[in-house]
Structure 1
Amino acid sequence: MTTEVTPRPRTARESATSERRTMDDLLRRVEHRLSTFLAAERARWAEVDERTVVAIDALSDLVVSGGKRVRPTFCLTGYLAAGGDPDDPGIVAAAAGLEMLHVSALIHDDVLDDSDQRRGRPTVHTVFSALHERHGWQGETRRFAEGVAILVGDLALAYSAELVSQASPALLAEWHRLRSEVLVGQYLDIAAAAEFSVDPRLSRLIAVIKSGRYTIHRPLVMGANAAGRPDLAAAFAEYGEALGEAFQLRDDLLDAFGDSAQTGKPTGLDFNGHKMTLLLGWAMQQDDKIRSLVTEPGHTPDEVRARLLDTDVPENVERHITGLVERGCEAITDAPVPETWRAELKELALKVAYRNK
């Protein structure tokens, strides 16, 4: 007679380790999906004309150059926390599509911000500016380079839609909202920089729409919806809104006081572009001199930084970030997901809010 042995329940640590391995495996599959997708596109277009692969190569270089993969991570976390099947290739395609959308936004951002570096490398328009000058081609170098960068960004946008179309239809409504929000938010960012009016309410709206929702909130809900759990949308929205704002505020601080060797891009771009960030908005409410340091010719980002440090705004921003992290973590305390995933979401909250790049 055989005695049946009841399996020992997994400890919390064992569950967390197993789920971390699942997440790591899915992120590896996302990387593989991105690289194989771009390689297939390159091979297809290479048969048409060798010049057609130049744009794809520029896009591929940026995709493989690193990046935190924040949006795929939150999409996959929402999916797994909601009980999704990790073997479903659709969620990998959706996460890859989110990263491709992010790359599109980065390329366009670099043109809008006139940035010459991204992830420690020359930006797309900088590369093509050098190519135009080196060959002595016709036309204006800047116009050519920025035109190519816009098209490469648009190509990434088209590819993002193609990838996400391979995922569950249940996440498409959230995907469509995400794409329109990031573009509307980008417009508001440009308009507010031109107006340069002190309006913290508008600055916060831009931070949430342009960055927060598309970085954390919508990817989480996309993942949950793909797993058939739309009931998680409210908790994930509250968590995502709070952490998305914290994410953008950290971006503001890194632009003002960060180390470009760590961030991989120049600092002070918000000052140069007259971006009406929450950081600057709050500072200008306390110190009128900051406005002239940002807008009048002849002043450097170092002067703005020094003046900002004379106010208590950086410390206030840090305190606000801490409050946002607490609010986000509180939002998922009673969310109907396994405890290990609540712990993972809390850990992710700390990572995005207190990152150094």
Structure 2
Amino acid sequence: MTSTSSSPVSFVRAAVDAEIASFTERRRAQLLEIGAELAPVMEALEAMLAGGKRLRPAFCYWGWRGAGGAEVPGIYTAAASLEFLQACALIHDDVIDNSDTRRGLPATHKRLEALHRRSGWSGGAQGFGQGSAILIGDLCLAWSDEMFQGSELPLEALRAGRRPFDEMRTEVMAGQYLDMLEQVRGSESVEASLRVMHYKAAKYTIERPLHMGAALAGRSAELAGVYSDYGIALGIAFQLRDDVLGVFGDPEETGKPAGDDLREGKRTLLVAETLERATPADAAEFRRHLGDPHLTPETVEWMRALATECGALEACERRIDGYVAQATEALESPEVDDAARPALADLIVAATARKH
């Protein structure tokens, strides 16, 4: 285990990575016993699990420590189970958005589509890739539950942690549906964007992992409110930062082509703010290009410039600063154990740092 002088995410990452490696090694043997043809499935799943910031396990762990939880191996197993849930969400999200890449590598459905093409199999390669990815995502969801239950924490703790764990899974699926709905509605509402962020990002990424840690430590009642005040504010700030990076981020940092969110036509708060603040003529031109998969670099640059010049980017940055202030204030609660307070403060920076 790394020392506590490291970042609150890297402190947790080594143990979480070890738990994931141990679990996937056992499940690889199980799948290959069923059939050697499942090797590419496991390779695609392991590729997805290899990346990521490990934010959800970090918030679960520090939620546990903030509730006075002791340093025991089982908390890392329970926290690591959230990475399988995240892998499920990302794999399915990439199918829904028809994304080509994830973290600089081919998206899961694209990996399996390429396997179909290389193998010269009958039928459509695209359909095979998408169907395979849906099944791999479902497998991750099942394994998330299995890993949580097998964490060897006391049964009473697991029963308490089960409620936020179950609520988290329901909320992220509901949030994903709302996101899809706003896309097809062509929503331009700031309020609609915030509602999607509330369920798809804030509760799922930060609030519920914190609640899970507190519940596993037996202090859900005392800390639920504090963790909600901190988690929802920080979660929305985190998603806002992600949306800004989806337009302005460096591809080497984001793992996606520059302006990829514009090509996918994502109805983010940045887009809503741009359409609300731009002149009618510029807004109409922005709408015409939004969602065009063949956007040229020059058009992406024009859309970025419009978001900047009309004040949409600045408005999003102000919102991020405001939510960060709310999360920071929530941490002043005496209910949070002093052992975790500095780490939770550092996580505010880790979740919202500018990288553009």
Assess same fold via TM > 0.5: yes
Per-residue CA distance 1:309-330 (angstroms, 9 max, x = gap): 2211111111111111011110
1:339 aligned counterpart, secondary structure = coil
- Describe the shift of the 1:305–1:25 C-alpha distance in structure 2 as closer, same or farther (beyond 3 A): closer
Q: Kindly tell me: are residues 308 and 26 of structure 1, through their superposed partners in 2, closer, same or farther at Cα, counting changes over 3 Å?
A: closer
Instruction: Verify: 1:62 aligned to 2:52, yes or no.
Output: no
Residues 63-98 of structure 1: CA deviation (Å, up to 9, x unaligned): 12x211000000000001211121141x22221111
The answer for the alignment partner of 1:162 in structure 2 is: 146
1:279-324 CA distances to partner (integer Å, 9 max, x unpaired)?
1111111123235423456754333212212211111111111111
Question: Contact 1:196/1:274 (CA < 8 Å) preserved in 2?
Answer: no
C-alpha distance in 2 between matches for 1:177 and 1:335: 26
Q: Pick the aligned partner of 2:58 from 73, 81, 86.
A: 73
The structural deviation recorded for 1:189 is 0.7
**Is 1:85 the counterpart of 2:84 in the alignment?**
no
Does residue 226 (structure 1) correspond to residue 210 (structure 2)? The answer is no
**Closer, same or farther in 2 for the Cα pair 1:215/1:23, shift >3 Å?**
closer
What pairs with 1:202-221 in structure 2 (closer than 5 Å)? 202-221=192-211
Alignment of 1:352 with 2:351, yes or no, is yes
Per-residue CA deviations over 1:145-172 (Å, capped at 9, x if unaligned) read 1111111111111111111123522111
Contact 2:67/2:214, CA 8 A, preserved across alignment: yes
Greater alpha carbon shift after TM alignment, 225-234 vs 292-301: 292-301
- Counterpart contact for 1:100–1:156, Cα < 8 Å: yes
Q: What is the Cα deviation at residue 355 of structure 1?
A: 4.6
Q: Which residue does 2:81 correspond to in 1?
A: 97
Give the aligned residue type for 1:54: P
8 Å CA contact 2:9, 2:55 repeated in 1: no
Matching residue's letter, 2:198: V
Is 2:275 the partner of 1:290? no
CA contact under 8 A between 1:133 and 1:141: conserved in structure 2? yes
2:255 to 261, 264, 281: 264
- More displaced stretch, 241-250 vs 154-163: 154-163
1:334-349 → structure 2 map (5 Å cutoff): 334-349=333-348
Partner of 1:314: 313
Alignment of 1:241-252 (within 5 A): 241-252=232-243
Contact 1:217–1:241, Cα closer than 8 Å, also in 2: yes
Rg larger in 1 or in 2? 1
Instruction: State whether structure 2 residue 130 is matched by structure 1 residue 146.
Output: yes
Name the CA distance, whole Å, in 2 between partners of 1:22 and 1:127: 33
Q: CA deviation at 1:48?
A: 2.3
Unaligned runs of 5+ in 2: 152-157
SS of 1:47's equivalent? helix
Asked whether the 8 Å contact 2:57–2:79 carries over to 1, the reply is yes
**Which residue of 245, 252, 259 maps to 1:254?**
245
SS where residue 132 of structure 1 aligns? helix
State TM-score, norm by structure 1.
Answer: 0.89
Identity of aligned residues (%): 38
Q: Which residue among 98, 118, 126 is the counterpart of 1:134?
A: 118
CA distance in 2, matches of 1:347, 1:336: 18
Question: Which amino acid in 2 is paired with 1:212?
Answer: A
**Aligned-pair CA distance for 1:45:** 2.1
For residues 223 and 324 of structure 1, the distance between their equivalents in structure 2, rounded to whole angstroms, comes to 22
Any conservation in 2 of the 1:107–1:149 contact (CA below 8 Å)?
Answer: yes
Moved over 3 A (4+): 17-27, 294-300
**Which range moves more in the overlay, 250-259 or 110-119?**
110-119
Matched position secondary structure for 1:204: helix
Instruction: Report if the CA contact (8 A) 2:251-2:258 is conserved.
Output: yes
- 1:25-64 equivalences in 2 (<5 Å): 26-64=12-50
- Structure 1: tracts of 5 or more residues without a match: 1-16
For residues 309 and 68 of structure 1, the distance between their equivalents in structure 2, rounded to whole angstroms, comes to: 28
> Does the CA-based 8 Å contact 1:232-1:335 persist in structure 2?
no
Following superposition, the deviation at residue 21 of structure 1 comes to 9.2
Assess if the C-alpha contact under 8 Å between 2:172 and 2:201 holds in 1.
Answer: yes
Matched, 1:239 2:230: yes
- Residue type of the alignment partner of 1:128: L
Q: Is the 8 A contact 1:212 1:241 kept in 2?
A: yes
User: Contact 2:12 / 2:58 at 8 angstroms: preserved in 1?
Assistant: no
